[in-house]
A = this chain, B = another copy of it.
Amino acid sequence: MTPVTQPVASDIDGYFTREESRIRSELDEFLRIPSVSARSEHNADMVRCADWLAGRLRAFGMTATIHKTPGHPIVVGEWRQAGPDAPTILLYGHYDVQPVEPLDLWTSPPFEPTVRDGKLFARGSVDDKGQLYIHVKAVEALLKVRGKLPINLVLLAEGEEEVGSDNLADFVEQHVDLLRADAVVISDSSMFAPGLPSILSSLRGLAYFQIDVTGPAQDLHSGSYGGAVVNPAMALARILATMHDSKGRVAIKGFYDKVQKWDRKSRDAITRLPFSDKHFKSETGASALGGEEGFSTLERIWSRPTCEVNGLLSGYTGEGAKTVLPSKAMAKVSCRLVPDQDPQQIARLFTAHVKRVAPKGVTVSVQYIHGGKPWRAELEGPLYDSARRALAAAFDKQPVIVGEGGSIPVVGDFTRVLKTPVLLMGFGLPGENAHAPDEWISLDNFTKGLRAVATLYDDLGKRT
């Protein structure tokens, strides 16, 4: 049964309508700062961007502190006057953006926000400055219209998300009292389709490996030695070919032992999403889709673990021919993991498998490079109930529950350190070019996002 949709509160709605052009021009200011975390020539822009953000928070009554890190600064904003009975919400976002190269593929310059066809084009428009600013302005609206927030709020904005969040886990562990909250809210993802608000139910984890196979001590002449020495590149191929069975399942012993099967309800929910294999195939450019038998495309990406080759290198790779019997062959291989697989345990199983199938005559080593745990939302309780109501109010459509095949390690850090539920509720859209030229955010989603987030905080405050 579909719950009745409540409208967005009229006072809040009126504020956004009245202030629309100022909010948009402030967003443009934010987007004009080239906060590219990966490029040291932008270090000063990173500091300027953190200062600018802190200034905007202070302008409507939040306190704001800039924390130095070994990398780029972290901005923490606070408003804690809702009283001890009101819930405390930790909002996470990031103010850094991806590099903009190749510049010649941008229709308009990446740091000059430009509207075309209802889309606001700029680097960071959707990832994640635009989505972070939705929260900032929703909080402003509540404070300006009502004089106070219904919740205690801590805003955490980092400047290193696009370069691996190297300093964030340490910061969270060292500031548990500052960041302690009843719920974490993140808007750094996408809706499943236009007009279809979405709540993320899961993230896959990761275990990333390098396999090195060594045969002869140096490259040999394939004529003088070929046929009498085990070829390490061929040995590597034979090792990799054992990773899957004929049904596309990962053939590593014990690999699926901890894999939770999704229940019928969750699997049925996926089938109701507006998804077309044909469209997905054309998006990838592959000649056909593939994967584990017995699962649909979305199930394969969201609910099933994988084992993928990410890179191969051996011997001669230039133009034409060189008759070398290589000394070494290397593969990068990674497994995407699902609850309750553990990256460390998968690393042990993976390594044991490779050792077991390694041909004689070569030396094989496996290096576990890094990993992260999978995550699955409970989707129950006041946080998710409020999110459903808020999204339905703003978009006039019940939100869908969607999975995510990628990994967001910070979610695991929040869960592990703060022991609190996390809500992932994004306003991007498929095709938004988050890491590519011509990044954009839908202006309709930005407008509805303001209303959804304000309604969420309002609702969370009422329910305690």
Residue ranges of A at the interface with B (Cβ–Cβ < 8 Å):
204, 206, 208, 215-218, 220-231, 233-234, 236-241, 243-244, 280, 284-292, 297, 300-301, 304-306, 308-317, 320-327, 329-332, 334, 336, 359-363, 369-370, 404-407
With the chains together, A141 CA to B97 CA distance in Å?
80
The residue of chain B having its C-beta at the shortest distance from the C-beta of A315 within the complex is B311
Output the least CB separation between A104 and chain B (Å): 16
With the chains together, A320 CA to B304 CA distance in Å?
25
Q: Which of B215, B311, B359 contacts A316 (CB 8 A)?
A: B311
Q: Do A309 and B234 touch across chains, with their CB atoms under 8 A apart? A: yes
Task: Decide yes or no: A204 and B223 within 8 Å by CB, A234-B243, A312-B312, A320-B369 being known contacts.
Answer: yes
Task: Decide yes or no: A236 and B237 within 8 Å by CB, A224-B405, A317-B312, A361-B289 being known contacts.
Answer: yes
Contacts of A321 in B (CB 8 A): 208, 310, 332, 334, 369-370
Between-chain CB contacts (< 8 Å), 25 pairs:
A217-B285, A222-B308, A223-B405, A224-B406, A225-B284, A227-B292, A227-B300, A228-B297, A230-B289, A233-B309, A233-B311, A234-B308, A240-B241, A287-B360, A290-B360, A309-B315, A310-B315, A310-B316, A310-B326, A312-B313, A312-B315, A313-B313, A313-B314, A317-B332, A322-B332
Contacts of A284 in B (CB 8 A): 216-217, 220, 225, 229
Output the least CB separation between A98 and chain B (Å): 12
With the chains together, A452 CA to B123 CA distance in Å?
77
Please give me the 10 A-B residue pairs with the lowest Cβ-Cβ distance, nearest first: A217-B285, A223-B406, A241-B241, A237-B240, A233-B309, A311-B315, A230-B290, A312-B314, A290-B361, A288-B361
